[in-house]
Amino acid sequence: MTYKPCPLYSQLPAIDRLLREPQITPFVEQYGQTLVTATLRGMQEQARIYIKQYQALPDWCDNWVLALGQQLEQKQTLALKPVFNLSGTVIHTNLGRALMAESAIEAVTQVMRSPVTLEYSLNDAGRGHRDHALADLLRELTGAEDACIVNNNAAAVLLLLATVASGKQVVVSRGELVEIGGAFRIPDVMVQAGCRLVEVGTTNRTHLKDYQQAINEETALLMKVHTSNYNIEGFTAEVSGHELSALGIASQIPTAIDLGSGSMINMAQYGLPAEPMPQDYLNQGIDLVTFSGDKLLGGPQAGIILGKKRWIEAIQRHPLKRALRADKMTLAALEATLRLYQRPEQLCQQLPTLRLLTRSQQQVHDMAQRLLPQLQTRYGDQFIVRDEPCYSQIGSGSLPVDRLPSWSLTFAAIDGQGNSLERLARRWRGLTKPVLGRISGGRLWLDLRCLEDEKALLQALLL
């Protein structure tokens, strides 16, 4: 029995012939021959697989030039795509958390385009320290004796523990052994830092005597962890910063608190849920405080350690600091963000995260009213389109239980089928700038709290 090759394979054009096509020449000029040739080879292989599976040519084989252009464009599309965040979560972990202020964006652009004084002292033409400029600023804003910057708050906690308590015991309330996104757990970080965790108290109640009774010659640190991603309510008790600090001083043991989200301002003055501020704990005598740069602070991903000079200097000398240090772009964005806090009267206008959090429900409702008529016209044949009140979430990993009154556009399928909503949501996720909402209660919700460009959204949804 002789093998007869499928004649469809012979209809696939040769790479050399395709590269000589005048219509493909512009692609070679734009993308280079290496990428164009590799893409054509990939297309040939895709076609062979399709023929083998279906005994037919793929539809795109009718126009190799068009298909090549589409694949080349797709290959050049960046993986990190801007989106419309209409999910209802303002500080969204999966969407990059805080939006940068314009001054931070300009600062990052500047340090990307030019050599900068990252570790260079203009005073004596010698080596400087990359954290010093930010440390000066943080001392001014918080009253801390010194500061250290690393690439995120988990790194800040790891570095603090490795410096202060490696090989020793760290006492923490059982009710504060938090887990955040990605299964990051405080006990696991302690293991990696070489510490031994000593749990005290119970899930809902921990007293100062619990810390006192746990202290022995192996105790190196008394620690608190702010439970920013959950609340324990009812019959509860916790040790205050004042109490822990006094115990640490009396026992000659350093104290620390991981604030997680961290806020540099009193959020209550803007009608938002109050969050503990690092300067409050420093004033209470806590030796070291850590918090994030890209949550309530409104800056880039970074871990900030504030506290007593002797401990910060020890942290800066630790070998892990070099592995965890922040780069010039992070430092530039963080400095520009912190400088906005020197002008608190303008903070709501200049800091995007705070601006979005402090929008009134009426402002969001007015936006929904402006958008509703055109979207009803466009989608009204398949969906019941309404505007409805809703609640936004401050953060997915930070303050997830706190809600802000907001307003949404909702889409309910006229045919009553849930897969109609799924198809619509999938279609919007496939747009050049994806539109991300949430499906709940038989409706697709577009929470408008985080929308700042109404025209761009209409252009996307009216196509």
The overall pTM is greater than 0.75: yes
Looking at 4.10.110.10, 3.40.50.300, 3.90.1150.110, 3.30.479.10, the CATH number of the domain 84-92+356-462 comes to 3.90.1150.110
Using a pLDDT cut of 70, give the percent of the chain over it. 94
- In this structure, are residues 433 and 84 in contact, taking their beta carbons and an 8 Å threshold? yes
- Listed by start position, the domains of the chain span 9-76, 84-92+356-462, 102-347
Mean pLDDT of the chain: 92
Instruction: Give the C-alpha separation, 177 to 199, whole Å.
Output: 9
- Looking at residue 190, its pLDDT comes to 87
Q: Is the dihedral of CA 77, 80, 82, 85 positive or negative?
A: positive
Question: What is the pLDDT, as a whole number, of residue 230?
Answer: 58
User: Which has the closest alpha carbon to 333: 305, 294, 279?
Assistant: 294
- Asked whether residue 2 carries a pLDDT value surpassing 70, the answer given is no
Q: How large is the average pLDDT for residues 91-104?
A: 95
Q: Is 303 helix (H, G, I), strand (E, B) or coil?
A: strand
The whole-number pLDDT of residue 422 equals: 95
pLDDT reading at 234 higher than 70:
no
pLDDT at 402: 74
pLDDT at 1: 42
Whether 265 and 358 have beta carbons less than 8 Å apart is answered as: no
Mean pLDDT for the stretch of residues 383-409: 87
Mean pLDDT over 173-178 rounds to 83
How sure is the predictor about 395, in pLDDT bands with cuts at 50, 70 and 90?
A: confident
Amino acid identity of residue 20, one-letter, is: R
Angle at 457 between CA 455 and CA 463, to 5 degrees: 100
Residue with tokens 């619990």: 210
Instruction: Give the fold, CATH level 3, of 102-347.
Output: Aspartate Aminotransferase; domain 2 (3.40.640)
Average pLDDT over residues 8-22: 92
More confident call, 35 vs 202:
35
- Of residues 9, 6, 68, 11, the one with CA closest to residue 42: 68
Q: 288-313 pLDDT, tens per residue?
A: 999 999 999 999 999 999 999 999 99
